[in-house]
Structure 1
């Protein structure tokens, strides 16, 4: 709809609410306020209006204020005691109308609004002003009890430095990209990074765009505390019962736990089996040959599992060639001998673990630098100062689906 048409129907713009659920209580813990234009029997989302860079900020602020006023009045009149999430364009806080906006918002505190139940949602990607002014205003609001959420993470290029400066209470991750298979592999890495960022910042993860049970499970296993989407509760002009999905949550999460236990069991069993097989295979290999020849024999004996094998010392210097399986057989890559891999994630930690436990370690799932495919690596100590690294082939992982999580 044309922005001018929206402005001509201001009286028909109403707040709608989408429930947000919690993993720990299984109850509604908040509502996001979303603007809707009601024309007869038609209800039109205003998302495009607010995200269109060609719409003047004055138009957006006027509509925003109307939606928020109506939402806050209903929220207070109906004595709702869960959080209310208000979408606010971050640029508002760095304009000459900042004081006007804040004064109007804070006037509700004088009317009895508990600010500890208010969450301000901003989209960091769309912010183009002075980050210091923004962080100053948001920190002031936080001293009053207001919480801050960063919206639309996972859908575009976010600036992690700016997010860290804002110190949000909630990171809101959009699962829309999961519906695009061409993006999904890279997206898993983005979600993992956001999960680590949330932990470092002491923030909670809220997953929105949950459209299926798969999305729900994905959000749960990626450390989501809060959930939002049409699969759980659609956007309506009414508040719903806090306990509307309590039993369904309990049932679904119990199923998720069972699935996760099955996958973890598969990983533990693979780790135990590989430790046993490598111990037996390494014992049988003649040690009167070069280290390159020894791992060549090992690689060929276990080629149904691994596609790349090499050895480093405890400081990460590669002591052998890379043994790489191709369609025509195993090849030796001499170019990597002597390179140092101590910079890789968990390398030093895993070497210490192998020394202490005298057992091999199965890595998490990651994208291989060389092939771009998702793989796992098994690390195994062959003596006090030498360590085998064996990359498990994508084909083997595909045949054992429990290992693909």
Structure 2
């Protein structure tokens, strides 16, 4: 191996405390100008023999593990393992990394094995992961969400940490749909029992989005690029406190604004309910002459108490009502907002909102509201979420329901 290879370390910050929980060891080399640059191209170069790449990987890993003696005892080192190395471990049935730790007298629980590729032989991956886990290592899955065909493998491996794909985080800043997707992935990882690590956190906006993804750890240039040495554990404490305070203040302001808007919408829906009550609920004959559509209303419709839609959709198209009978007879009883309303002890006083979702017809973030009309009928209305509760802090977190008192 003619190339000089060595590790640098990027801090991994614990969200709740701000302390440096660990470091990801990243292979580095020097270019012709003597500048420190990534050595990633070397390890992915198909012209270099696999054995040479494995030996180089082992060389860098030994240096990285040696650094554990220089960082606080409650911090860990995360090291990346290629598919070639996993295959070697599984076939050989031994752990050279464990031998390194024994030589260095370091506890394996301070090392996180970061699996960077799941598309290989599943049996070999499981064998390798089992060996590492039995030896006391932590297990992480990198780039979660980059390939949805790998979700079953993640569930099978039960990692301690899941790193959300950096590209998804960046895309989520530009597109609410992408934000919704990464939030769902974060929730999914948490439900699998894994701590979520968001990497590629470069801006405050990315940090705030990562918080909505259940991020237990953060990693990225907002805190630090990779360094040649470790930092004091509390180095980012103040920065983290200021970031959390800023998020909390914006979230509280957003929540207050959302509650005001929700009350405004509820007054409008109660008015519609009273108009329907006055005219009588007869499917297809609701008198809308004195109820003009507003900007937030996409459509409304009526169900019976079993959840069956008994009216057409009354759809707001360019400020005028249009009737769409296609959904008549659909059953919405399984929707969380319908169940939440029907389970309420004070059903006559409750207005239930769904979590925001992307309306497939309007192509925008929306919410559904459910309100009792009378003993036999339920009013459902699809609303533009930006008018009620749809922003960075409430965007796309599943389909759970929430309710407010309308009386």
TM-score, normalised with respect to structure 2: 0.86
| Matching of residues 312-351 of structure 1 within 5 Å | 312-327=303-318, 329-344=320-335, 347-351=338-342
Where 1:225 maps in the other structure, the secondary structure is: strand
1:47 aligns with 2:40: yes
| Matching of residues 116-127 of structure 1 within 5 Å | 116-125=109-118, 127=119
1:37 aligns with 2:29: yes
Distance 2:90 2:150 in 1: 25
1:310 aligns with 2:305: no
Distance 1:385 1:51 in 2: 65
1:84 aligns with 2:77: yes
Gaps of 5+ in 2: 396-407
1:380 matched residue in structure 2? 371
| Matching of residues 185-334 of structure 1 within 5 Å | 185-285=176-276, 286-288=278-280, 290-294=282-286, 296=288, 300-327=291-318, 329-334=320-325
1:146 matched residue in structure 2? 137
Where 2:307 maps in the other structure, the secondary structure is: coil
Count residues with an aligned counterpart.
Answer: 393
The 3 A distance-change label for structure 1 pair 265 and 87 is same
- RMSD, matched Cα: 2.9
Q: CA deviation at 1:36?
A: 0.6
| Matching of residues 348-367 of structure 1 within 5 Å | 348-353=339-344, 356=347, 358-367=349-358
Distance 1:291 1:22 in 2: 56
Distance 1:96 1:401 in 2: 46
1:20 aligns with 2:7: no
1:103 aligns with 2:96: yes
Measured against aligned partners, the alpha-carbon deviations of 1:307-354 in whole angstroms (never above 9, x if no partner) come to: 111122333311110111112622111111002234445543443248
Q: CA deviation at 1:174?
A: 3.0
Contact 2:197 2:216 in 1 (8 A): yes
Distance 1:54 1:380 in 2: 66
The 3 A distance-change label for structure 1 pair 371 and 354 is farther
Measured against aligned partners, the alpha-carbon deviations of 1:152-188 in whole angstroms (never above 9, x if no partner) come to: 1233445111100000111101343344479733322
Distance 1:361 1:42 in 2: 59
Q: CA deviation at 1:289?
A: 6.0
Distance 1:144 1:101 in 2: 10
Q: CA deviation at 1:124?
A: 3.9
2:57 matched residue in structure 1? 64
The 3 A distance-change label for structure 1 pair 32 and 96 is closer
Distance 1:403 1:23 in 2: 17
Where 1:70 maps in the other structure, the secondary structure is: helix
Q: CA deviation at 1:282?
A: 2.1
Aligned match for 1:128, one of 96, 120, 127: 120
Where 1:303 maps in the other structure, the secondary structure is: coil
Contact 2:98 2:108 in 1 (8 A): no
The 3 A distance-change label for structure 1 pair 313 and 47 is farther
Distance 1:75 1:182 in 2: 35
Distance 1:295 1:110 in 2: 83
Distance 2:47 2:338 in 1: 49
| Matching of residues 156-195 of structure 1 within 5 Å | 156-180=147-171, 184-195=175-186
Where 2:314 maps in the other structure, the secondary structure is: strand
Gaps of 5+ in 1: 1-6
